Structure 1
Amino acid sequence: MRERRLRTGVRLTELGFGAAQLGNLYRRTTDQDAHDAVDAAWDAGIRYFDTAPHYGLGLSERRLGAALAGRPRDEYVLSTKVGRVLVPTPDRAHLRDDDGFDVPARFRREWDFTRDGVLRSLEASLDRLGTDRVDVVYLHDPDAHWEQASTSGIDALVELRDQGVVSAVGAGMNQAAMLARLVRESDVDVVMCAGRFTLVDGTALTGLLPAALDRGVSVVAAAVYNSGLLAGPRPLPDVRYDYEQAPADLIAHVHRIADVAERFGCTVPELAAQYTLRHAAVASVVLGMRTAAHVTTNAARMAREVPDELWEELDRLGLVPGLDGAPGGEQDSTQNGATHD
């Protein structure tokens, strides 16, 4: 599998393993399914794995660490996130988590982007992962905590990077505007943008991506299926977009994309998986994977050859956000840390 290199030298496979579902996102996943998914990812050539304490109150980190145990540590890249410190709540262990994960409420999430909070969070993550280092650390969803995250939070991460404790730092969010500001004003290496650069959402094209190219910062694209809207060959009437019911006009728009894709023997999910990698700033696409079957499907979508004529037709019809005509691999990679290997 092809890799793209961040400006600090970290190499990300173009397809990354998103481990939120290993934390029982929305429903339970077995330990065996989680382990099998990671094994399948390794067999498929995936070497970038992303997790966070938020995912299942640490369950995702524990499962991912266990599944990667015994793998050569220098052969894969591991990222996690800081900003939510897990505080034990044994009195609530009989309850279920109320933040989207089917796990016991043994901990509560406490927002903390102070230097101490960042260090405590990372230390706990290392313990759960069973490793002595992670390669990339993101500030996690600092939307309502900009002042603290953009000062003490990012300063702590930069300090860790400069000390050689981690190899690259940045932030992950479900918006583009604040990420663009962070790229312009801070010494970050990579940002994870969820849902704002997809086949139907070009929000990141007007601020974040130009800033990233200008500053040599790489972008990891996540949530490229937009909560399910782009996950199937044709969207169903009750499909969701950004966690809510998708509007009828947007569903109709995706059907028009599907009409074009099918003429070229391709599907909407294949286009959604590959679209963001056509931009020079993007280093990797992280897709959520719960089972080995999910891994196989996503890897096949990334490997599918999409003819240039299909992208040109979609662009001509104005059905996808424009990328100024040039795939990322054909642009000058010296503009950005995401060089192509």
Structure 2
Amino acid sequence: MASLPGPFALGAANLGNLYAPMSDEQAHAVLEAAWDSGIRYFDTAPHYGLGLSERRLGAFLAGKPRAEFVVSTKAGRLLVPDPAGAGRLDEANQFAVPADHRRVWDFSADGVRRSLDDSLTRLGLDSVDVVYLHDPEEYDLDPALASGLPALAGLRDEGVVRAVGVGSKSVAALAAAARSGIADLLMVAGRFTLLDQSALDEVLPECRARSIGVAAASVFNSGLLATPEPAGRYDYAAAPPDVLVTAREIAAVCAEFGVDLPTAALHFPLRDPAVRAVVAGAATPEEVRQNARRLAATVPAELWTTLRDKGLIRA
């Protein structure tokens, strides 16, 4: 399964209270706006809010026909009860949820299967469509891939999942997964955007050569590209001054063509034939609707040529 219902997918990290709390009602409204906008691919993970994202997504999808949507989740971090953390928030991981569980790395075959079983319970589903190994480079890349990818392949061969791969912001992890001969899909997080095209070196060429589909995630690089005037985080931290300057230069060129920066950021990855969908999160229903409108807009080809000629994006 290298195809995805695209071109727009909802990343559900916000549903796990990423950066700020969100009520169940707000989460439902975001998901309803996504569904009404035609989004049928939803990406989540145990990591997002210590399972809160999966629970909220599952509660919403319980009222939708199973054949009409695609869900991906991730494996690599098991959630283990930690009663001692119940009185504090999971601020170390930037989620505004009680830290009543802790994440335990486990890329073994048993760990991957247990992770999926736990995710299915939280989602209230009998199956998910895609499972990605989540951030294997943050554990130990080679051992994680050596055990985790064959474990996912086994689940795929059993028909438990339809497609497997790796979700990461590490080009080394993504390239190794592409070369493994196992991955059907890769979730490339923040490495094929207007500000970072490092996936062009190895990852995307490998994907094209091997017919591996790509879901381009974090296309706003954690928020810096999410508004017409660049502001906010870059890769989950404060934006470095030089990156902010480049983002402003790109925004100025976009404005010359009557295109706002977020629209260009959403459209940019879809120019590569390996990219099947862009994955963007949202904290409000209006953000979902606005991004859907942006993806429906037309972006002149001359914009990309001009950005390239000015050295602001790679060829």
**Fold shared, TM-score > 0.5 on shorter chain:** yes
Which residue in 2 is equivalent to 1:335? none
Which residue in 1 is equivalent to 2:29? 36
Q: Residue 199 of structure 2: SS of its match in structure 1?
A: helix
Structure 1 letter corresponding to 2:35: W
Structure 1 letter corresponding to 2:200: L
Aligned length, in residue pairs: 313
- Counterpart-to-counterpart distance in 1, 2:25 and 2:115: 27
Change (3 A) 1:244 1:234: same
Cα RMSD after superposing both structures: 1.4
Structure 2 letter corresponding to 1:103: V
Which residue in 2 is equivalent to 1:250? 243
TM-score if structure 2 supplies the norm length? Answer: 0.96
Conserved 8 A contact 1:19-1:290: no
- Counterpart-to-counterpart distance in 2, 1:40 and 1:203: 32
Conserved 8 A contact 1:277-1:285: yes
**Residue 126 (str. 1) matches residue 126 (str. 2):** no
Which residue in 2 is equivalent to 1:330? none
Divergent runs of 4+, >4 A: none
Which residue in 1 is equivalent to 2:151? 156
1:179-198 mapped onto 2 (5 Å cutoff): 179-198=174-193
**Residue 54 (str. 1) matches residue 47 (str. 2):** yes
> C-alpha deviations, 1:51-101, integer Å up to 9, x for none?
000101100000000011120101110000000000112232222223211
Of 82, 101, 110, the match for 1:116:
110
Tell me how far 1:134 sits from its aligned partner. 0.2
% identical equivalent positions: 53
> C-alpha deviations, 1:17-52, integer Å up to 9, x for none?
000010011110010010011111011000000000
1:254-333 mapped onto 2 (5 Å cutoff): 254-322=247-315
Conserved 8 A contact 2:4-2:277: no
Name which of structure 1's ranges 279-288 and 300-309 shifts more when overlaid on structure 2: 300-309
Q: Which runs of 5+ in 2 are unaligned?
A: none
Conserved 8 A contact 2:230-2:251: no
Tell me how far 1:105 sits from its aligned partner. 1.4
Which residue in 1 is equivalent to 2:160? 165
Conserved 8 A contact 2:76-2:105: yes
Q: Residue 122 of structure 2: SS of its match in structure 1?
A: helix
Of 19, 42, 49, the match for 2:12:
19
Q: Which runs of 5+ in 1 are unaligned?
A: 1-5, 323-341
1:227-246 mapped onto 2 (5 Å cutoff): 227-236=222-231, 239-246=232-239
TM-score if structure 1 supplies the norm length? Answer: 0.89
> C-alpha deviations, 1:81-131, integer Å up to 9, x for none?
000000112232222223211111111100000011001110010000001
